[in-house]
């Protein structure tokens, strides 16, 4: 911001707004320290608030001198151009944080685990070395991929090593599949969906053995 622009800004008002934003950010990080899910909930409204202030908030921080030279035509043009960008940015952020799906695609000799936010993995039944059903599974940390309020998909690592995960967030059950040349692949979903895939794998393992 140039000296000329600074002279048109109400520094006290700007300071109060920035202090409020910092307080909200501080609260978000404080809550995230105890439970990371809070941070995921807070990111979207924080992003929306900051972006709205950047695009639309200029007039609210002007002093009397600034208001006297404020160009309303430019102001409305900025609104007209800014609203589509604002809505697009909010949609992309919402999609990243709150949306996603995991699919199981079954074929004759293999099945695939697919996510709309991570690459698909195909598993040949003849390459499966071991299958284990678990109600509880320690996910560990994400190395790459996505981990939002809807799904967890990508490469993860826990105390047993690295693996591929395709799971709904807070899945009821998990299927641990040890695959030749690929390592451990974990699928997580409802009990019904996991048991269905487990039964299908067992049937095909008998068929291909």
Give me the pLDDT at residue 69, please: 52
Distance CA 11, CA 13 (A): 5
Give me 204's structure tokens. Answer: 């095909």
Chain center to CA of 24: 20
Give me the pLDDT at residue 61, please: 61
Distance CA 145, CA 172 (A): 21
Give me the pLDDT at residue 26, please: 72
Contact 162, 155 (CB under 8 A): yes
Torsion of CA 139, 142, 144, 147, to 10 degrees: 80
**Strand arrangement of the beta sheet that strand 151-158 belongs to:** 128-134, 173-179, 183-189, 161-168, 151-158, 141-147
Give me the pLDDT at residue 37, please: 56
Contact 104, 121 (CB under 8 A): no
In the block, which residue shows the tokens 């800004």?
Answer: 9
Give me the pLDDT at residue 2, please: 47
Give me 172's structure tokens. Answer: 């009821």
DSSP letter for 9, please.
Answer: B
- What's phi and psi for 172, nearest 5 deg? -80, -30
Mean pLDDT by 10 residues, the chain (209 residues): 52 68 70 56 69 65 53 58 75 82 93 94 95 94 89 94 95 96 95 96 88
Give me the pLDDT at residue 95, please: 82
Distance CA 171, CA 100 (A): 14
- Residue in 179, 169, 178, 164 with CA at minimum distance from that of residue 132: 178
SS3 54: helix
**Strand arrangement of the beta sheet that strand 102-106 belongs to:** 102-106, 110-115, 118-124
Contact 115, 166 (CB under 8 A): yes
User: What number of residues does the chain have?
Assistant: 209
């Amino acid at each position: 911001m140039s000296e000329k622009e600074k002279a048109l800004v109400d520094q006290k008002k700007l300071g109060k707004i920035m202090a409020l934003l910092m307080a909200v950010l501080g609260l978000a990080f404080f809550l995230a320290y105890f439970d990371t899910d809070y941070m995921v909930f807070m990111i979207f409204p924080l992003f929306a608030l900051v972006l709205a202030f950047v695009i639309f908030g200029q007039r609210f921080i002007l002093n009397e001198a600034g208001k006297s030279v404020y160009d309303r035509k430019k102001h409305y043009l900025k609104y007209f151009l800014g609203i589509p960008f604002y809505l697009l940015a909010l949609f992309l952020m919402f999609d990243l944080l709150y949306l996603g799906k995991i699919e199981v695609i079954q074929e004759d000799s293999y099945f695939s685990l697919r996510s709309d936010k991570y690459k698909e993995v195909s598993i040949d039944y003849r390459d499966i070395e071991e299958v284990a059903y678990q109600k509880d599974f320690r996910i560990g940390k994400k190395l790459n991929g996505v981990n939002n309020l809807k799904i967890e998909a990508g490469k993860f690592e826990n105390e047993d090593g690295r693996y591929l995960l395709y799971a709904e967030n807070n899945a009821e059950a998990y299927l641990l599949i040890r695959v030749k040349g690929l390592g451990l692949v974990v699928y997580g979903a409802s009990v019904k969906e996991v048991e269905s895939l487990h039964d299908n794998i067992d049937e095909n393992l008998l068929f291909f053995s």
